[in-house]
Structure 1
Amino acid sequence: MKYPEFTYRFQYFDADFIPYPTKGYVADMSLSRKGLFNSDVGMWQLVARTSASWPLNDKYFFNLRTTAMLRLPFKQPYVNQRFLGGSDLFLQGYESYEIDGVAGGFTKATFTRKLLQTAIHLPFTQIKKISTIPIKVYGKVYGNAGYVYAENVDPSNNLNNRLIYSGGVGLDIVLFYDLALKLEWSWNQLHQNGLYLHDRRYL
C-alpha cells in the first residue's frame, strides 16, 4: 500500500557536543500528515523530543531526555501504530519488545561520571583529522519511565495502557569526533535483564 506523506520538522541544537552532550539543550519536533484528506488512510502525527544536559562539576553530569507522540484520529490501522521498539525510539531494558499505540511518551534520566579521557596518536597517517583518536569513557546509572496508549490492546501484549519502567548501569565510550558506543546492562519491571550495545543517540 502506498500513500503520500508530508512532514515539517524543526530541530534546535545548543549543546557542547551533539553526539554526546554534557551541557546544553537539544530539541526535535515533527508534524506529519499521512494520506490525503479524502483517502482511506489519513493520520496526523506530532512527535516532540528533547534532551537537556547539566554538568554538576568537571566529572559528573546529569541528562534528562523526553519524548512525546500523538496520532489523530486514535482509530488507526496497525501499520500506523508503531511506537516503541524497532526504531530509535525505545526504553532501555525493553529493546526486544514492540509497544505500539496512538499516544504516549517516556522520559530517560542518566547520571554519568567521566572515568577516562585520553588520546591515541597514529604515526602512520598524515591526515591531521584522523592522526589522533580522542577517547572518553563514562560510567553511568539510568532510569526510564513511559506510557503508551492503544485503542485496541493485543491480549498477548500487556505493556500498553500502563506505566512501564526500567533501569540499569553502563559504560559510554566516545571515539573520534562523532561516534559513541554504549554498553548497558538493563533490567525492567518484568524481572528481565540483559546486556545491550547501542550506537550514539542524542535523543
Structure 2
Amino acid sequence: MLGIIIGFFSLLSTHTPAEDHHSIALRDTVTLKHRAVKTQADSSGRFLEVNRIFIIGNRITRDQIILRELSLKKGDIVYSTDLVSILDLDKKKLINTRLFNKVDIRTLVLDSMKVDLLVDLDERWYTFPAPIFELADRNFNEWWQNYGHDFRRVNYGLRLYQYNMRGRNETMRFTAQFGFQRKFELLYRFPYIDKRQKHGLAIELGFLEAKNLAVRTQDHKYEFLKTDETLRVDRLAGLTYTYRKSFYKTHSVKVEYRNINIADTVKRLNPDYIKGETNTRQEYTWIQYQFNADHRDFFAYPLKGYQFLVGLTKTGIGAGDDVNKVEANLLYSKYFDLSKKYYLANNSVLFWSTPDDLSYANYGALGLRKQFVRGYEVYVIEGPYYFLNKTTFKKLIFSNTYHWGDMPIEQFRHVPIAIYLKTYADLGYVKNYPDYENAGRNTSMTDQLLAGAGAGLDIVSSYDLVLRFEYSFTSNGTQGFFFNVKKEF
C-alpha cells in the first residue's frame, strides 16, 4: 500500500506550478513577499553597518516586542553575503510569535558601508470572543464511533481570547463552559516581565464540575456515567515561570495546586478511582521543569527544522499531599525539506512514570492530545510508560492565497490554502498497569507493538488552521477513516 502511494507521489513531481509557493505562509498563515535585497551580495562580499531599523504596520504591537526577535540591532556589523539568510531567519521568528499575518524585512542601502532595515508587518486580529460548541470527547473519531455521535455530548459557552494585550504579546484567556462539563478558567500570560525580555510569568485559575464522567476504562475505551448529581469537582491554581535564554531555547518551571472531589457514586463504581483512606478526595501540589529547544521553521505546520523537549514532573511536594508520583517525558521531532515540494517528518515520544500502583485518576495514557498511533484514535491505552514514533512523507500538491476584498475586517482578507498529499507509518508500545493485569482488563493492546499506516490529505489555512483527513490500517486488523484538527505533531 505504502509503495503504491509513494509511486503516486513520484508522478506528481513532474507537475510544476507556474509559481513556487514553497515559502508561502500556509505553514503559519503568512504570505512572504519576494525579497528585494540590494546589499551587495556579490562574490567578494563586504562588511555593512546596520544604521537604523524602521518598523511599520504595528498599530498595536510595541517596537520592543518586535526588536526582541531580530538578530541584528542598530550599530551591528554584518557581512553582506550573510545578510539574506539572517533576515530570512528573523522573518520566521516574527511569524512564530503568532502576532502577524504577513512579515517582510527589506534593506535600504545608504552607501557601500551602511544599510537601514525596514520591517513591514501586517498584524493579526487579536480578539476572539469564540462561542463554545465542541465535543466533550478526546477527538472527533471517538465521539463518532464510540459514543454514537450523540450531540448531547457537547460543551457550550464562551471562550474569550485576547492576544497581544497592551501590545506586549501578553495573552488573556477566559472560559465559561456549560453542557457536558461545566468549566471556568482564567489564564494570563506575561511573556516578559523584565527589560531584557528573558523572564516571563503565567497565572492560571480553574474550576471544573462534571455530571458526566469517565469513571473507568473497558477494552481501552472510556465508560461514562451521567447523572443529575455532580460527580467530580476540580479546583486548581497554577504559576509558571519561563526563562527564554535565546531565540530558540526556553526553560520553564510550573507549580500547580489541585483539589479533586468525587461523589460516592463514582467510588462505588470504581473503588480505585481515588485510592487511599478518603477515597473521595485528592489534594496535592506538583512541580514541573521543562526545557524546549524549538528550531522549527513555522510552528503551526513545520516543514523544516527540529524540536527537542524534555520534562520532569514531581507530583506531591508536600507532606500532606495525597499523590506521590514522578514523571519524565522526552520528545524529539525532525522535519526535512527533500526539495521539489517533498517533505519528510519524524516524531518520537517517550513517557515514564513511577510508581505503577496509582489511583485511576492519575493514570498516564497513550491516546491523549496528539500522542496516539494513527488508526487507534478511538482508544485510550493506559500504562506507566510508553513509546511512540510517527513518520510522515508528504508532497505539496496545491498552494494559493486568495484575497477576499469584501471582508470588512482587514486581518481576514487574505486566505492562504495549501494541500498536502501524504502517507504515514506509526509505531507504539505501552506497558500495562499491574491492576489491569491482575484483573485481566485492558490487556488487548498493551505489552505489544502497535502499528498504524495509511494515507491522507492535510489542508492548511489561516490562523494556524490544519484539517487532516486520513485513512488508516492497524496491526490489529482494523481500518477506517479518521478526521483530526491541528497538525499531527
TM-score, length of structure 2 as denominator length: 0.40
Aligned pair partner of 1:106 in 388, 399, 407: 388
8 Å Cα contact 1:112/1:138 also seen in 2:
yes
Give the CA RMSD over aligned residues: 1.8
Return the letter of the residue paired with 1:87.
R
Aligned pair partner of 2:354 in 72, 79, 96: 72
Aligned pair partner of 1:124 in 406, 420, 426: 406
8 Å Cα contact 1:19/1:202 also seen in 2:
no
1:167 maps to what in 2? 453
> 1:69-110, CA deviations, whole angstroms, 9 ceiling, x for partnerless residues?
010223323322221124332111111111011112110000
Q: For structure 2, which runs of at least 5 residues remain unmatched after alignment?
A: 1-281
Return the letter of the residue paired with 2:395.
R
Matched, 1:20 2:335: no
Q: Which structure 2 residues correspond to residues 33-72 of structure 1 after superposition, within 5 A?
A: 33-36=314-317, 38=319, 39-72=321-354
Higher relative helix content:
2
1:141 maps to what in 2? 423
TM-score, length of structure 1 as denominator length: 0.92
Matched, 1:83 2:365: yes
8 Å Cα contact 1:12/1:27 also seen in 2:
yes
In the alignment, the residues of structure 1 paired with residue 413 and residue 346 of structure 2 have an alpha-carbon distance, to the nearest angstrom, of 34
- Residue 54 of structure 1, CA deviation: 0.2
8 Å Cα contact 2:366/2:381 also seen in 1:
yes
Matched, 1:176 2:457: no
8 Å Cα contact 2:328/2:351 also seen in 1:
yes
Q: How many residue pairs are counted as aligned between the two chains? A: 203
Structure number with higher relative contact order (C-alpha < 8 Å, ≥ 6 residues apart) = 1
8 Å Cα contact 1:21/1:202 also seen in 2:
no
- Residue 45 of structure 1, CA deviation: 0.5
1:188 maps to what in 2? 474
SS across alignment from 2:411? helix
Matched, 1:7 2:250: no
In the alignment, the residues of structure 1 paired with residue 368 and residue 346 of structure 2 have an alpha-carbon distance, to the nearest angstrom, of 22
Aligned pair partner of 1:97 in 356, 368, 379: 379
Of 157-166 and 118-127, more deviation after overlay is shown by: 118-127
Q: For structure 1, which runs of at least 5 residues remain unmatched after alignment?
A: none
Fraction of identical pairs, as percent? 29
- Residue 159 of structure 1, CA deviation: 0.9
- Flag as ranges the 4+ runs of structure 1 deviating above 3 A: 37-40, 126-129
- Residue 198 of structure 1, CA deviation: 1.1
In the alignment, the residues of structure 2 paired with residue 33 and residue 124 of structure 1 have an alpha-carbon distance, to the nearest angstrom, of 53
SS across alignment from 2:283? coil
8 Å Cα contact 2:468/2:487 also seen in 1:
no
In the alignment, the residues of structure 1 paired with residue 475 and residue 481 of structure 2 have an alpha-carbon distance, to the nearest angstrom, of 16
Return the letter of the residue paired with 2:349.
T
Higher relative strand content:
1
SS across alignment from 1:79? helix
- Residue 35 of structure 1, CA deviation: 1.6
Question: Which structure's CA Rg is the greater one?
Answer: 2
Matched, 1:200 2:482: no
SS across alignment from 2:339? coil
1:155 maps to what in 2? 440
> 1:121-175, CA deviations, whole angstroms, 9 ceiling, x for partnerless residues?
1011354432110110000000010111124235342111111111111100000
8 Å Cα contact 2:466/2:485 also seen in 1:
yes
- Residue 58 of structure 1, CA deviation: 2.8
8 Å Cα contact 2:284/2:322 also seen in 1:
no
